[in-house]
Amino acid sequence: MSKPLQRREKLRADLILAAERIIAERGLSGLKTRDLAREIGCANGAVYNLVADMDELILRVGSRTLRRLDEALSAAESAGAPLPQETLVRIALAYCDFAAENLQLWRALFEHRMEADKVVPDWSVDDQMRLFRHIYQPLVSLFPKRGPEELEITARSLFSAVHGMVALGLEQKLVAVPLPALRKEIAGLVRAMIDGLIAPAGQNRAAAGS
């Protein structure tokens, strides 16, 4: 009795949680199968009954991280004035804050590289794509005339630009900007990007919209 299937699932959940804790504490490179096995109380070989390999485990943890990130962005989306400009700023800052507060787990999302030939499974790709929808809505309000495809690309670009600022801003403590300064920079540049995109501006607005 004691429903072995449920026990298996329980162990699986424990494994993923243990992996998450270890990555958060010691970084992606601190994740070792033997530590995991000891942590959840089984032989190292048993790990491979719960997940196919380390890649899958890391992606599972990534999925959890992405879900929490998604929630943080959702909260920011509806946590103030519905002005699309300010909503986008809030989302960008929420992204920055999440990365700072979950530094190692957030890094793991991008540091991890699939071993060549093996493909990222669909459920993982879906997780990633879901993030863009947060900035898509405000962009629709800002640019009602533009088509969905164009807006999707813009959403992706905006997201990527903010991601870059966060990534390099949190990189190395030596030259790193202090967090408040980084937040200010992000807010400023997001507003600038939006203003510039709206702009009935001066001379050279040629290539942006076409």
Partner DNA sequence: CAACAACCCTGAACATTGTTCAATACAAAT
Partner DNA sequence: ATTTGTATTGAACAATGTTCAGGGTTGTTG
How far apart, in whole angstroms, are the C-alpha atoms of residue 97 and residue 90?
10
Asked whether position 53 contacts DNA by CB under 7 A, the answer is yes
Among 11, 86, 136, 143, binds a second copy (CB under 8 A): 86
* Closer residue to DNA, CB minimum distance, 37 or 187: 37
Other Cβ atoms closer than 10 A to 65 = 22
* Closer residue to DNA, CB minimum distance, 33 or 137: 33
Asked whether position 46 contacts DNA by CB under 7 A, the answer is yes
The least CB distance from residue 1 to DNA, in Å, is: 5
Q: Which does 165 bind (CB under 5 to 8 A by kind): DNA, a second copy, none?
A: a second copy
Asked whether position 181 contacts a second copy by CB under 8 A, the answer is yes
Name the nearest CA neighbour of 94 among 187, 194, 193, 157: 187
How far apart, in whole angstroms, are the C-alpha atoms of residue 92 and residue 88?
6
Is the C-alpha dihedral spanning 184, 96, 24, 175 positive or negative? Answer: negative
Among 14, 17, 27, 33, binds DNA (CB under 7 A): 33
Amino acid in the structure at residue 74? S
How far apart, in whole angstroms, are the C-alpha atoms of residue 76 and residue 94?
6
Per-residue binding letters, 96-135, with a second copy (x by CB under 8 A) = ---------------x-x--x---x----x---x------
- Produce one character per residue of 28-63: b if its CB has 16 or more CB atoms within 10 Å, e if not: beebebeebbebbebeeeebeebbeebbebbbbbbb
Asked whether position 172 contacts a second copy by CB under 8 A, the answer is yes
* Site residues, a second copy (CB under 8 A): 27, 29, 85-86, 111, 113, 116, 120, 125, 129, 153-154, 156-165, 167-169, 172, 174-175, 177, 181, 184-189, 191-197, 199, 201-202, 204-205, 207-210
